[in-house]
Amino acid sequence: MTTTAATATASSTTTTTLPVLEARDLTFRWPRATRDCLDIASLRVDPGEAVFLRGPSGSGKSTLLSLIAGVVTPRAGRLKLLGHELSTCSGRQRDQLRADHVGFIFQQFNLLPYRSALDNVLLTCEFSRRRAALAVQPRERAQELLRRMGLGPELIARRASELSVGQQQRVAAARALIGHPDLVIADEPTSALDDAHRDAFMLILREVCAESGSALLFVSHDTRLAARFPRCLDLPALQRGSARVEEAAA
């Protein structure tokens, strides 16, 4: 083996992939609570990975998503987003990290009711110059995503308040997907969809994430969807100690 080849081989074996999301010994306790509601030894999501996380009521799902979003910070342990330790970032830094790198599909949609479907999707690009630049032509990209979600020109122009619940859910998904986010977090994103729309939505969600190289953390209580993912986790099983006791009692 030549020196150049040996160097290249050594370099390739020492290169590591930076996780999109990494948690170690992560605990959280709400004020005045006597027990941790979240206690996770380890959780990791790699770039481009699609992970199904079962999160039934009382398992700490909402708390975990709030931590990943940077809305709250852990009591102990480490939580990194793209190598950034969230607990050491300021609130403003956490907000910008989320805007630039994370696409959230909220369970309650969080659309602006007085803005059109198209304008709701474009909100992402208003908050993040990075994602606006990655979208290249944000308006055209937003229209494309909405069309793929099954919303025609007439629906795209409607105010969010004039859309059905299922249509609003698909608008929320398009908003999360625009601008090539590093991580897409989907919180019960199929809860308002019938079987036909659910299947179409799942196909498009996985396709767009794959095209963009986005990791997907899909959180749901619906275990029927788990078969669509190469990796499945159970949040109650990830919990340790008192947090698991708390979940069992909920």
Residues found in the chain: 250
pTM summary value: 0.88
Give per-residue pLDDT as tens, 161-174: 999 999 999 999 99
Nearest to 29 by CA among 249, 248, 247, 243: 243
User: CB 60: neighbour CB atoms within 10 A?
Assistant: 24
pLDDT of the chain along its 250 residues, tens only?
Answer: 444 444 444 443 444 588 999 999 999 998 988 899 999 999 999 999 999 999 888 788 889 999 998 889 999 999 999 999 999 999 999 999 999 999 999 888 999 999 999 999 999 999 999 999 999 999 999 999 999 999 999 999 999 999 999 999 999 999 999 999 999 999 999 888 888 889 999 999 999 999 999 999 999 988 899 999 999 999 999 998 655 544 444 4
In CATH terms, the fold of domain 17-249 is: Rossmann fold (3.40.50)
Name beta bridge partners: 38: 28
CA-atom Rg of the chain in angstroms:
19
Residue pointed to by tokens 């159970």: 234
- Inter-residue contact 84 to 92 (CB < 8 Å): no
Give per-residue pLDDT as tens, 220-237: 988 899 999 999 999 999
Amino acid identity, position 250: A
CA 81, 53, 67 angle in degrees (round to 5)? 35
Q: Which DSSP string do the residues of the chain spell out, in sequence order?
A: --HHHHHHHHHHHH--PPPSEEEEEEEE--TT-SS-SEEEEEEEE-TT-EEEEE--TTSSHHHHHHHHHTSS--SEEEEEETTEEGGGS-HHHHHHHHHHHEEEE-TT----TTSBHHHHHHHHHHH-HHHHHHHSSHHHHHHHHHHHTT--HHHHHSBGGGS-HHHHHHHHHHHHHTT--SEEEEESTTTT--HHHHHHHHHHHHHHHHHHT-EEEEEES-GGGGGGSSEEEEHHHHB-HHHHHHHHH-
User: CB 110: neighbour CB atoms within 10 A?
Assistant: 13
Give per-residue pLDDT as tens, 199-211: 999 999 999 999 9
Q: For residue 5, what are the contacts with CB-CB under 8 A and spacing of at least 6? A: none
Give per-residue pLDDT as tens, 7-35: 444 443 444 588 999 999 999 998 988 89
Taking the domains of the chain in order of start, what are their residue ranges? Answer: 17-249
Nearest to 65 by CA among 98, 91, 36: 98
User: CB 45: neighbour CB atoms within 10 A?
Assistant: 24
